[in-house]
Structure formats: C-alpha cells, structure tokens
Chain A
Amino acid sequence: MLDREQRNMVLALLIVAVVSTMLLATTDMFTREPIAKAQREALHRALMQVMPPHTNDPQKDAFDVQREGSKLRIYPARDAKGGLLALAWEEIAPDGYSGRIRILMAVEPDGVLHAVRITDHRETPGLGDGIVTNHAWLASFQGKSLDNAKWKVRKDGGDFDQFTGATISPRAVVKAVHRGLLFFREHRDDLLQLSRGSEQKAVMEEGP
C-alpha cells in the first residue's frame, strides 16, 4: 500500500496533468479554426502571387494526384468561362543549404512557367535567402519552359543566375522547378483531364 505521502505525490502530479490537458484541449478548440483560416489565407496570398488573374477559387477546386507514392495537391486557375489558365503546386527542394525549400510554381497548359515563389526555407539570411528577396531572379523564371531554357545555374552551364557567395540555394530551386516541369510534361494529358474533371464536378454540385 502507498503511504500518505506517496499518495499525495501521485495525486498532485495527476491533478496538474489533468488540469493542463483540459487547458490545452480548450485552447485547441478555440484556435483550431483560426489556425486553419490563417493557413488558407497564407496559401491564398501565395497562389495570388504565382497565378495569372483568375475568377475561380483554386483552393476549392484543388485535386490530388499520386506522385512517387505521396499525395500532391494541385490548384487550378480558371477564367470566367471556365477555361484553364494555369495549374499550381508545391515542389520541395530537399537539397537546400539548410533544410528543405518549399516552392510554389504555376504552369500554363502549354508547359510554360507563369511564376515561381518560395513559400518556406531556412537558407542563410543575406546569402541564400536571395531566392526570396531577389525579385529579378524570381522573375527570370517567368515564360521559361523545358524547350526554351537550360535548367541549370550559370556556373553549371545553364541559363539561371546564381548569387555571389550562394550557389547551392539557387541550384536547388532550379533543380526542383525543372523536376516539376518534367512531371507536368510527362503527365500533361492526365493533369488537364483531371482539372477538367474537378470543374465538371463543381458544376454538377451547383445544379438542382
């Protein structure tokens, strides 16, 4: 049997744990919806930056595809007549200078890049983070496709600049975007078909 002192110790720990858990559960209840909303808004802002002007809600029309065993969510941008303007998705460059670089890229139906933005990274401030702050460099992706550019940094004989003192971060980004374009070319028909499918579904849901 536990003596009085031991029982008090167990009781104290138990009460502290239970009260803390209740506090956390309550906070979770109040913050879950705002957190989801904040994440949607952050994605919305990023999508607005990479996509051409569109009239649909890309997050509502998004669809998932399987790639190399993992799920990839694809966001379509459409004009008022329902014509597809671009598809956007997130590529992850695993080979940044420190950790993964997340890249949002939008590709037009003919395989031409519309724009590229970095959504998350841990690159060195002042050096590698030029991939975010150097707008001219980011703009140099616009209008590029597999056919009209060599997908390497200049140092490796390609068409994309590196920055002074930082080659690794731009190299990782260029490589990831290239991979994304190759993926789009390989599955172009399927992807366009799927984006149309989600459109039909949306129309069907709006019917009687």
Chain B
Amino acid sequence: MNRMDIVREGIWRNNTIFVQLLGMCPLLGVTTSAENGLWMGLATMLVLLGSNLVVSMIRGVIPVHVRIPCYITIIAAFVTIVDMAMNAWMHETYLVLGLFIPLIVVNCAIMGRAEGFASKNGPVESAIDALSVGGGFTLALVLLGGVREFLGKGEIFGLQVIGNYTDMLMFVLPPGAFIALGLMLAGINVLNRRFEQRRTVEMETARERA
C-alpha cells in the first residue's frame, strides 16, 4: 500500500466513525459543539500518533503472547500524558472535556491501529497512518459537532449563524447525536454511491470509445 493510499483510507474510505463505526463513545458525549469535537479529535490523534510510533518501533521485539498488554500500557501512558498536558495548558477546555479524555484509552480504534497497522509497518508509514486515521476521526467529530450545534443552537464554533434562532434542544442532547449521525451516514452513503455510479459510467464510456 503506498502512502497516498494510507491517507485516503484513513481519512475517508475507511473512516473510523463513518465507515467502521468504531470509537462511538466520545461521539455522543463530546460532540455537542464543533469546538468540543475538534479538541477531542486532536487529543485522540495525538495519542494515536504516539502509540502507533512506539508500537511500530518495537514490533518484532515484543513477544507475540504479551503484545496486547504492552500496547494497552503504551496507549494508557500516552492518554495520561495528553490528559495532564491539557489540564496544565488548556484548563478551560479540559474542564469541559475532562471526563472523556481518560476514555480515549478504551477507544478500540487506537488499539485497532496498533494491532492492525503499526505492528506490521515501519515508523514512517505508521505515523502517516496515525495522522490520517486521527484526521478522519477529527473530521467526523467536528462535522457531527457542527451539525448538532447548528441545528440545536443556530451557532457554529460558538458564532451565531442564524439570528433569532429557535433552539432545537434535542440535537444538543444525547438522542440528537444518534439522529444527526444517522442522517450524516445516510448522506455519506448516498454520496459514495453516486461517485461509484459516475465512475462506472465513465469507465464504460471509455471502454466503448476504445
């Protein structure tokens, strides 16, 4: 797999949230606004980058039978570091997201990348993979946070977009996360299917011309 493919897979074609539907726990709790989604996504990306790098560097050295406890320890260490750093230098954001940062440990998407990618590839590829998968995760969180914030309060990134907006409270509450996510997944599937059709049509016309 070349590097461009890794990026494409991570961000879109195999997007953790939109396609794999993994790591949904922070999705409900955190994405009440675009900004919360952004910080949670970046925190996850940092952890992913750290764990992917370390796991890829020690691949082959760690005995197969104890690899899972080793990965968990590495991931937990990076989560705690991000947790402490946010508490120190981004205190306000930490107070809002505080509850969800430690939960990054149990985000199966990170374990999945360690086991499924970093343990079989070099550090450079693993870093690219971490940034792409983390980027895709962040993208999903920001999009969902933005949609919920917009529908719920008429704001995006805390800025009023529609004046005199009648709040649709449900979208800020947890059920709104399910509904907004469902609508977005449906939309993405429609888009992908349309791309697919266009590609098939193009290929057929190309063949006919040939």
Q: Do A and B come from one complex?
A: yes
Chain A interface residues (CB < 8 Å from chain B): 5, 8-9, 12-13, 16-17, 20, 23-24, 27-28, 30-31, 34-35, 38-39, 41-42, 120, 124-127
Interface size on B, residues (CB 8 A): 29
Q: Does B190 contact A (CB under 8 A)?
A: no
Say yes or no: A35 contacts B87, CB within 8 Å: yes
Q: When chains A and B are docked, how far (Å) is the Cα of A123 from the Cα of B70?
A: 38
Would A23 and B173 be within 8 Å (CB), given that A12-B62, A28-B84 are in contact? no
Instruction: Give, as a whole number of angstroms, the nearest-CB distance from B149 to chain A.
Output: 11
B65 A17 Cβ-Cβ under 8 A: no
* Contact call B87/A38, Cβ cutoff below 8 A: yes
Q: Are B95 and A126 in contact (CB under 8 A)?
A: no
Which secondary structure characterizes the binding site on chain B? helix
**A174–B88 alpha-carbon span in the complex (Å):** 33
Interface residues of B in 120-167 (CB under 8 A from A): 152-153, 167
Number of A-B residue pairs at CB separation under 8 A = 67
Look across to chain B and name the residue whose beta carbon is closest to the beta carbon of A124: B173
**A24 in contact with B77 (CB, 8 Å):** yes
CB–CB A126/B169 < 8 A: yes
* Cβ-defined contact, A127 with B63, below 8 A: no
CB-nearest residue of chain B to A17: B73
Q: Min CB distance, A199 to chain B, in Å?
A: 30
Residue of B nearest to A36 (CB): B88
**With A12-B70, A38-B91, A39-B91 known to touch, is A24 a contact of B169 (CB < 8 Å)?**
no
Q: For residue B58, which residues in chain A have a CB less than 8 angstroms away from its CB?
A: 16
B46 near A: Cβ within 8 Å?
no
Does B81 lie at the interface of the complex (its beta carbon under 8 Å from any beta carbon of A)?
yes
Chain A residues within an 8 Å CB radius of B53: none
CB B200 to nearest CB in A, in angstroms, measures 45
| Assembly CA distance A46 to B77 (angstroms) | 33
User: Chain B: which residue is nearest A126 at the CB level?
Assistant: B169
